Structure 1
C-alpha cells in the first residue's frame, strides 16, 4: 500500500478535540488527507513530541509520527544537534513512499537531501502566489529565499493552485514535474440552497496579518454604514503595525462584529447566513474560504489581486471591485435575480471543479500511483 507522509504538524489540530483552527494550507492539507485515505492511501502525519492529545476516533487510521519538542535543544544549535536527528528518525519510522509539504520552507531543501538519500519522493505544494515573485522579499529573509529556490530544484514534484503559479514555475524549471490542481473540498449537500436575504451580513474570514489588508477592509466597512460585517479570525503573532492599527479602528465601528475563530463544523453555517464573502487580500493562491462560501451559495466580493485564473468573473461567482467606492456602487446595483444566479453559479462551480475525490485521483495519477 502506498504511504504518504504529511509534514505539517499543525494538521493535528484538525484531528483532535477542540483543536485550534489554522490557516488555509492546513485546511487544504486535511482535505487532501481525507480524500487520499478514502482512495486507499495510507497516511502519516507529523506531530510534535510535546503534543499528547489523542486523535478523534474517526481519524484513528491516520498514524501520527512524533518528531521533536519545539522548546527543547540548545537555542543556536537545536536544528543540527536536536531537531534534525529527531526528524530523520521520524521519517525513517514512517518509511513513506512520498512526503507532502503543504508550504515550502528553507527546510524543504535540507530535508529534500534526506529524502533523496532514503529514496523517498518529495511533493511541494505552493500555498501562496507571493512565493514566486518579488513579493517573497516582504515575507521571507534572504536565507529563506535562497533555500526555498533550492528546494524547488531538488524536489520530485510540485503541485500548484492556479495558472500564475504553474506558468511561473514551468518557465523557471521547464523539466520539473508540475501539476495544477485546484484546492479540494468535501462537497456537503446540507448547505447548498441559497435564498436572497437582504438582512444577511457580509462575512470576512482570515487570520489577521499584512497579507489580508485590514486597511482596505476598514475603508469598505466605513463606506457601507448600512451593511453588517462579521469578521472571523485571529491575529497572527508577531502582528505588523498596519494590521494592529486597523484592528483597533474596526473595533470602533458600530456595524462590525468580531466573532473570533470559527471552528470547522461552524464555518459552513456561518457562510450560509451571510450574503457575501468579502476578500481584501493583497495576494493569495486559491483561498479555501472561497470554496466554503461558494458551497453554501454565497457569492464572492474580491479584487483582481485575488481572482485565481479569473474564475470569479469568468464563471459568474461574484463581483470584482476596484476600491471601496466601486464596491458600494456594485452592491447598490444588484438585483434579486442577479444575486440568485450568482449563488446558483457558485454551487454548480464547486461541485463540478473541486470535488475532493476527483482531485485526489488526479494527484495519484500524476504521481503514477
Structure 2
C-alpha cells in the first residue's frame, strides 16, 4: 500500500482515537478482574508449591506477553523463564524439569505449537496453568488450572489485532506476580538483589557509608571557632557546610552557606570575632550511617537542604555528604 499523503489526516482526531482505546481496554480489565476467583488462587498455590521454575510459553503476541510475565515473575521472587513453543518441540523442552510449573498462553486456546507440548508435559508430570480467552478451548480443558482472560471486544476496530486481550493477559501476569510477592513477604532488599545494576539497585542497595565523606574530609570546627575559621574549613572541605562539635566529636550544631548569607545581613556579626556557636543552627537534620542513600535523598528533598551530617548512636559526627555525592552515585 503506498504511503498516504499527510494532508489526508489534517482533520483526524488522533487523541479521540487514543482515548477510545484506553476506554475499551479499561473496561476489559474491569471485566477480567471481576472473574478472579478460585482458579486464580489455585494458580498462585501451584506456583508457591513449585520446587522448580515457572516456564512461560506462548506463540506470537501471546509469546511476547509470556516473555514479559516471566521477566516480572523472576524479578519479584518467583524463578521463571520464557520458552518458545516452536523451539521447545525441537529440543528446548529439555529445559523443563518435572519440578517446574508451565504457564501456557494462547488467547484462542488452540495454538498448535503450544498444544503439541501438552502430551510431553503431562507425561513428565508438570502442572500446567493455562491463560486463554476461551473456557472450552483445548488448552483450557487440558490444563490443571485455567485463567480466563476473555475480553468483550478488542480495541482494534477491525477486531483483528490483539489489543484488549493482550492487555488483559499482561494484567493477569502482573496480578500473579504481585499476589505471589505479597504472599512470600518479598521485600525491597530482595528486589534489589535481583536488580544489582542500574538505578533500581543503586537506590535500594547503596548505603550512606558508601557515599559519605569520612575522617579528615568531614568539615568540623569547635564551638569557640570564629566564623572566619569556619569559612576556611568549609572552603577546604567543599561541602557547603561545617559541623560544630565538642572535643569528643559530639554534634553541637551546623553552619552552612545559607547561615553565612544570614550572618552577612546582620550588621552586628563580625566574621573574625563572632564565635560560631552564636550563629550556628542547633539540632540540625542528620542521618544514621546505616541508612540507605535513597533515604538521604528523600530527606534532602523533603526539607529543601543540600547536605547532611552523618551521626552514630552516641550523637557523634562520623561523616558528611551533600547532594553532589548522591548525584555522582546516581541515586538521584
Task: Answer with 1 or 2: which has the greater Rg.
Answer: 2
Higher relative contact order, structure no. (Cα contacts within 8 Å, ≥ 6 residues apart):
1
TM-score, normalized by length of structure 1?
0.27
* TM-score, normalising length: structure 2: 0.30
